[in-house]
Structure 1
Amino acid sequence: MEHLKQTFGMQDHLTRQQISSALFSTKMHDSTIIQDHMMKLTKLFSGLENKGTLFELDFKIEIIFASLPDAYSYFIMNFHMNKVVINNISELTNMLIEAESMLKKNKVVSLVTEKSSQGSKNQKKKRTKKSKKGKSTSVKGG
């Protein structure tokens, strides 16, 4: 019986180490949806908690923030500056989903703005070329 405890105890230790490694090295990619990322992290936290490793909520939040891309830095800064209090990871997930939708809207607006400003530059170039052609024609005609 003691041998079984030692054998399975070593397996638990190895499993904890693997889950911890995955948790601390997880980074969200730009193409990933925040909800999927949060589900992955929640699953890793649960795996460690099932093996006897408990985390305080503040520690979980910091691990989550460390895994987010730079696009969320404004959200993280506001979260800390406003000393937001949440009761669980689900609340944070909902806040991050809202932040993600705002980031997507801002990205679309900036892309539209960039394209429209590039379009106006191209129109100015076309106009200048036309006016130069017009001047050269009038010089030839005169």
Structure 2
Amino acid sequence: MSTKLKQQHNNMPDAYSIVTHLQELYGEQSQSARYEISKAIFRAKMSPRGSDGDYVLKMIAWMDKLKELDVPMHQYLQINAILQSLSDSFRSFISNFYMNNIECSLTELMYMLIITQGNMETGTVMAVSSSSKTKKGKGKKKATQATKGINKKKGKTIAKGKCFHYGKDGY
């Protein structure tokens, strides 16, 4: 505490009155700080050529500042705020993220976005998936033996094996 503040608070009877006086003096600053930080989070928009890692770290830093000011954001809201602020080039990533019901931390999301941006720059397509935290459905079954013999390159069907109905080769 500075010497001026110490002199102002020397005459106060207890610590509670000192704390309440300090909150009155500096409370408006924290309220305006909360407003400015939350405004920055919800109005943020990533530039199309920006770096994912730096951008997500900046968003996480803002969210940590809100937490320090006693305004913690729920993890789902944090992830939604980050995904909502990404550039349009991440549209397929966002759709894939929600379709697979991925649950991750902010750092895991940051690494997924960095990998996705790297793949977009090289032209590689990557599907987002999670091993244990997504809902898994039943996949398509493998081709049966009757459809294995179809030659799709020539446009003709060449059957291999016996016909199920007549029991003869060549159908």
The one of 9, 12, 16 equivalent to 2:27 is 9
Tell me the TM-score normalised to structure 1 length: 0.71
Q: Which runs of 5+ in 1 are unaligned?
A: 108-142
Following TM superposition, the consecutive aligned residue runs of length 4 or more in structure 1 with deviations greater than 6 angstroms are: none
Match of 2:111 in 1: 94
2:71 & 2:22 partners in 1: Cα distance? Answer: 21
CA RMSD of superposed structures (Å)? 1.3
2:22 & 2:106 partners in 1: Cα distance? Answer: 36
2:54 & 2:21 partners in 1: Cα distance? Answer: 40
Corresponding residue pairs, total: 106
Q: Which runs of 5+ in 2 are unaligned?
A: 1-17, 125-171
Matches within 5 A, 1:39-78: 39-78=57-96
SS of the residue corresponding to residue 96 of structure 2 reads: helix
Matches within 5 A, 1:121-140: none
Per the TM alignment, residue 4 of structure 1 is displaced from its structure 2 partner at its CA by 2.3
2:79 & 2:58 partners in 1: Cα distance? Answer: 14
- Greater helix percent: which structure? 1
Per the TM alignment, residue 3 of structure 1 is displaced from its structure 2 partner at its CA by 3.2
Q: What amino acid does structure 1 have at the position aligned with 2:31?
A: H
CA-to-partner distance for each residue in 1:4-45, whole Å, 9 max, x for gaps?
221211111011111111111111001211001011101100
CA-to-partner distance for each residue in 1:36-61, whole Å, 9 max, x for gaps?
10111011001111100111111011
Query: Sequence identity, in percent?
Result: 28
CA-to-partner distance for each residue in 1:75-105, whole Å, 9 max, x for gaps?
000000011121x100111111111111111
Tell me the TM-score normalised to structure 2 length: 0.59
Match of 2:137 in 1: none
